[in-house]
Amino acid sequence: MSAVCNKCGILKSASEMGRNRGKSNGLHHWCLACRRVDNNLRNRNRTQNHRSDMYRKQRYGLTPIEYQSMFAAQGGACAICSQRAADCVDHCHNTGKVRGLLCKGCNTLLKAIDNWAHLESARAYLAKPAFEARDAGYGEPQPLHPEDEAAQLQREFISAVKGLEALQARMTQNARLQAVG
């Protein structure tokens, strides 16, 4: 048995057409080669944005318009550092509510300190004296010079405080927005 493909118009054998039990002749109306090309084109035309939009809708309940308005409100920048592109949706793991858009680095940071007890542990860890290895990691670790160690601790502390202040300001702003909305 053979049939003409409705797509390419070429007479093809039954094995080249593929089966379709719903048709009177039992064959598909397009040949396998035309169906393969059509499927590849359709899949290629599904853009990454479309997939991302579907994922954000499923995962966070964000429509593409809501996401674009959040992105525009933040100027396309991370809500914490404001230096890199906001490409991650940040949400509260307890309530599931979206807090804002973050860069990958800040999102990873928040994930690491989602538990405030971890933040206190991290602060205590940064307060410990630093060591540097001599001979590229061989031998006993040597403490930094007291002046270098104090300066390093001060830089780390100032950086951590600035990060916490930015995080606290953002959380306060989000709390106000949620109270209004």
Mean pLDDT by 10 residues, the chain (181 residues): 88 88 86 85 63 84 89 90 88 85 87 71 74 53 60 74 80 80 62
Residues 118 and 106 in one domain: no
Structural domain total, the chain: 3
pTM of the predicted model as reported, rounded to 2 decimal places: 0.44
- pLDDT at position 29 is 87
Q: Determine the structural domain holding residue 55 and report its residue range.
A: 48-112
Q: Are residues 28 and 14 in the same domain?
A: yes
Strand 11-13 relative to strand 2-4: parallel, antiparallel, unpaired? Answer: antiparallel
Closest CA to 163 of 121, 105, 117, 115: 105
101 and 154 together in one domain? no
